[in-house]
Amino acid sequence: MDNIAGRKSGLSWAVNISVFAMVVLWLIPTVGLLVSSFRDNQQITATGWWLAPMPVDFSFRTRALPDNMEEIDGVYVISGNVFADPAQARWFPDGAGTLSAFGTRGAAPGEYAPGEVVEVVTRGQVIGALTVGAEGDYELRHDEPFARPVTFYFEARTPPRFTLENYNTVLRADGMDRAFINTLTVAIPATVIPILIAAFAAYALAWMDFPGRGLLIAAVVGLLVVPLQLALVPLLTLHQRVGIGQSFLGIWLAHTGFGLPLAIYLLRNYMVGLPRDIIESAKVDGATDFQVFVKIVLPLSFPALASFAIFQFLWTWNDLLVAKVFLPSGSDSQVMTVKIADDLLGSRGGDWEILATAAFVSIAVPLLVFFTMQRYLVRGLLAGSVK
């Protein structure tokens, strides 16, 4: 529309800014999840994900061990470097860091500035004089030998730490690997099976003449909006009566049934638009309906078939309701959505890094499908809604 008269360039910066703001608003929550899933499990609760590239201030506890005690001119001295403590190796792998404060009490780990000399008091008794430098070198002096280790505290900056540990934990220990396979097991047959059934029905509704056709199309449109909630109890009862019970077979059948109205509707709308000449000339040449369908209509309908396949795949992958009802609730057959909603949110409710990682594992495949096949998705939406 660039060629339209009176196009105002004065407004275009405003448009650019507002679209940019909207995109940021829409994108930020997902980015936050992605960033959080790679953060260290201690840093994640210490600072917000938007500060992820910044260092994080932590307080640490360390101990001066009597083993390293030396006697110098009648004074007993323990010296060392706080960053060399193996307990802190995770944060300071090369044994060096910058200390911002230190303290002698757990309640006030950053009471004193580096370089100050302070008394260490335990149960009302002075047990030594401590000083800690900014590089982490400490010296503990006392005129009697040290019998027990002396505990003190310090605060230091830790570099931002990104890790794949969360993914390892979620996939191995929390059983998301099993849930991932279960989701895949539910989604693929539930996507493939309805397509062919729907394609034949759509062809009949689009290109064959028979009494009651209009009524059937209206029925399909009506069934499109039947709430799934209605189907749960009667079908579960039915499945239990015929011996399917709660099982993968049951959920495939259920997803097939629930996906059919959209499939038939989308495919019929597409097939009706195919050129009449091709189909009629094939019939004049003696092709049967079956041949016309298999050799002409089916290959030409590929874009519509692809659109529906993507919809159905996303829907079955993302579904929580049908999986909760039609699959057994044990962890052997939990799909990812059920696993997150019923298991992880309860048992791991406070472990933000686990929740973020699990959520990202579950949305990774749909996002991949979305970004690679967006074209078909859009086409399918348009065929289904705008006429």
Give the tokens for residue 114: 């580096």
| Cβ at position 285, least distance to another protein in Å | 16
| Cβ at position 76, least distance to another protein in Å | 42
| Cβ at position 219, least distance to another protein in Å | 8
CB nearer to another protein: pick between 306 and 363: 363
CB nearer to another protein: pick between 113 and 208: 208
Q: What is the distance between the alpha carbons of residues 320 and 316, in angstroms, rounded to a whole number? A: 9
| Cβ at position 261, least distance to another protein in Å | 7
CB nearer to another protein: pick between 16 and 168: 16
Q: What is the distance between the alpha carbons of residues 57 and 47, in angstroms, rounded to a whole number? A: 9
| Cβ at position 342, least distance to another protein in Å | 9
| Cβ at position 279, least distance to another protein in Å | 15
Other residues' Cβ atoms within 10 Å of the Cβ of residue 101: 20
Q: What are phi and psi of 42, to 5 degrees?
A: -90, -35
- Which amino acid is it at 18? S
Beta strand pairing call for 75-81 and 117-122: unpaired
User: Going edge to edge, which strands form the sheet with 137-142?
Assistant: 70-72, 75-81, 137-142, 125-132, 117-122
- Which amino acid is it at 74? G
CB nearer to another protein: pick between 129 and 216: 216
CA dihedral over 320, 325, 326, 329, signed as positive or negative: positive
How many DSSP H helices and E strands does the chain contain? Answer: 16, 8
CB nearer to another protein: pick between 120 and 206: 206
| Cβ at position 194, least distance to another protein in Å | 8
Whether the CB-CB separation of 155 and 99 falls below 8 Å is answered with yes
CB nearer to another protein: pick between 302 and 370: 370
CB nearer to another protein: pick between 104 and 246: 246
Q: What is the distance between the alpha carbons of residues 381 and 387, in angstroms, rounded to a whole number? A: 11
